[in-house]
Amino acid sequence: MTEETWGQVREGLIRQVGRNNYLTWIEPLRFRDLTEGVARFAVPTGFHGDWVSRNFAEAIRRELDAAGVQVARVEFAVLKDMPKAEPAAKEAAPAARKAPAAAAAAPSSVATPAVVSSDEAVLASAPLDARFTFDSFVVGKPNQLAHAAARRVAEGGPVTFNPLFLYGGVGLGKTHLMHAIAHEITARNPEARILYLSAEQFMYRFVQALRDKQIMSFKELFRSVDVLMVDDVQFIAGKDSTQEEFFHTFNALVDQNRQIVISADRAPGEIKGLEERIASRLQCGLIVDLHPTDYELRLGILQQKADFYRGQYEGLKIAPGVLEFLAHRISTNVRVLEGALTRLFAFASLVGREISMELAQDCLADILRASDRKVTIEEIQRKVAEHYNIRLADMIGPKRLRTVARPRQVAMYLAKQLTPRSLPEIGRRFGGRDHTTIMHGVRKIEELMSTDSQLADDLQMLRRLLEG
């Protein structure tokens, strides 16, 4: 392969993976040879090779293909005495590179890494996705608190809450917000040393440092940052020595008043296998959760992404009502929502048709089927009990007090509306009540809804919560 071809491939890769990722991970690669459809590259370290192989191998293969180089597989291996590369684009200064590189210039009160070669330094922060900024984050009721807290951290200033703990279900924007914080801090203060990585990478690095007898460098590097961000911290639950190391790193940074941002799929106290003392330290800061999306937020996100795609696929039209239909039907998570829209635009552009309701239903049949969530009566009872702050047992118990009886009727009404169960079936789940009692409960709520706006609001909220 000629230098010219590789130059062309480089350009394509920058477009595909973003400049930050390119500079951090791909630019240090050295092309070695191409034999029998296998392109081989030298990498500075095993970790680098592993990361590139997992995250960018397919992109590299595709770009090679596009440049006319037929490649079936791409391989990466560490080569002793690998020549150092000249940076391809000096103007870009991504946070991912900056964090450790700037560590060398850390104030004297902070322990700087003993020996951190530039390649090792580059590896200290996981790549940031250039698209995950505050500008591209759509704010709605379910995520407004998390967004506000993330913004506050990103604005810098005195550390008021430490750590910021963001939690929520799959694909609700935790990683997006963390990357946005890193981008914003870097934009405001290019010298800030930000270290972002997943808990899995933290463990991987820790184990590697133990193996290579580099534990002091590891400790020093982690303790020398201004902002540490660890994504998906639930991963270290049950992993004793990693937790121990994490605990010490955490304490050292808090003592130095350095900002820590953590994300997880649940609240600290609910992570099984997480040491008590870690859970309690994590609870010392601000804990905010990203709630499941509601219809308005999903529609907002779809509109934003559709605007982006309209720019990419010029002339492609989208019929009125399609985005509303998707926001209504796909309520699982934002990643699925985005995937659906991407597929829809790609498909419509391929067949050269407008994105109509019919096309959406055809093209997204599998996603729409999977998203048809079935709400259960037990779930309804649980959510309603939580909402009205009564015991779950009272849903099926005999109490007739209004404070219990009304929520029970709300649950009966929702069970009738949201499940295909018959009145006798519902009655059985409500402590063996007769179907006429259920019918009475449902009617009572229907009546009250038109006069009691608080009840109508409660019902709307519960309905959304259950359908989301």
Ligand X SMILES: Nc1ncnc2c1ncn2[C@@H]1O[C@H](COP(=O)(O)OP(=O)(O)OP(=O)(O)O)[C@@H](O)[C@H]1O
Helix axes 322-329, 334-351, angle to 10 degrees: 140
Q: Which stretch binds ligand X (CB under 6 A): 62-70, 105-113, 135-143, 347-355?
A: 135-143
Distance CA 117, CA 148 (A): 37
- Report if residue 138 touches ligand X, rule: CB under 6 A: yes
172 binds ligand X (CB under 6 A): yes
Residue 144 beta carbon to ligand X: minimum distance, rounded to whole angstroms: 10
Specify whether the CB–CB gap between 341 and 316 falls below 8 A.
no
* Residue at token pair 């350095």: 258
Among 51, 56, 132, 196, binds ligand X (CB under 6 A): 132
Pick from 73, 335, 353, 443 the residue near ligand X by CB under 6 A. 335
Annotated binding site for ATP: 171, 173-175
Q: Which is nearer to ligand X, 338 or 379 (CB)?
A: 338
Q: Is 24 in the site for ligand X (CB under 6 A)?
A: no
What is the per-residue binding string for ligand X in 348-387, x denoting contact by CB under 6 A? ----------------------------------------
When asked if residue 173 is in the footprint of ligand X (CB under 6 A), the reply is: yes
- CA dist 126 and 228 (Å) reads 12
Please give the order of strands across the beta sheet that includes 38-43. Answer: 30-35, 38-43, 73-78
Stretch that binds ligand X, among 11-19, 48-56, 166-174, 182-190 (CB under 6 A): 166-174
Cis peptide bond upstream of 163, omega within 30: yes
Helices (H), 18-86: 19-21, 46-55, 57-66
* Residue number, 88 or 139, with CB nearest to ligand X: 139
* SS3 at position 430: coil
Q: Report the residue number, 143 or 162, with the smaller CB distance to ligand X.
A: 143
Q: How far is the CB of 139 from ligand X (least distance, A)?
A: 7
For residue 22, give the DSSP letter.
Answer: I
The dihedral region occupied by 356, where left means phi > 0, alpha psi between -120 and 50, and beta the remainder, is beta
The interface with ligand X within residues 301-320 (CB under 6 A) comprises 301
CB closer to ligand X out of 203 and 404: 203
d(CA 346, CA 297): 23
103 scored as a contact of ligand X (CB under 6 A): no
Binding site for ligand X (CB under 6 A): 132, 136-138, 143, 168, 170-176, 232, 265, 301, 334-335, 338
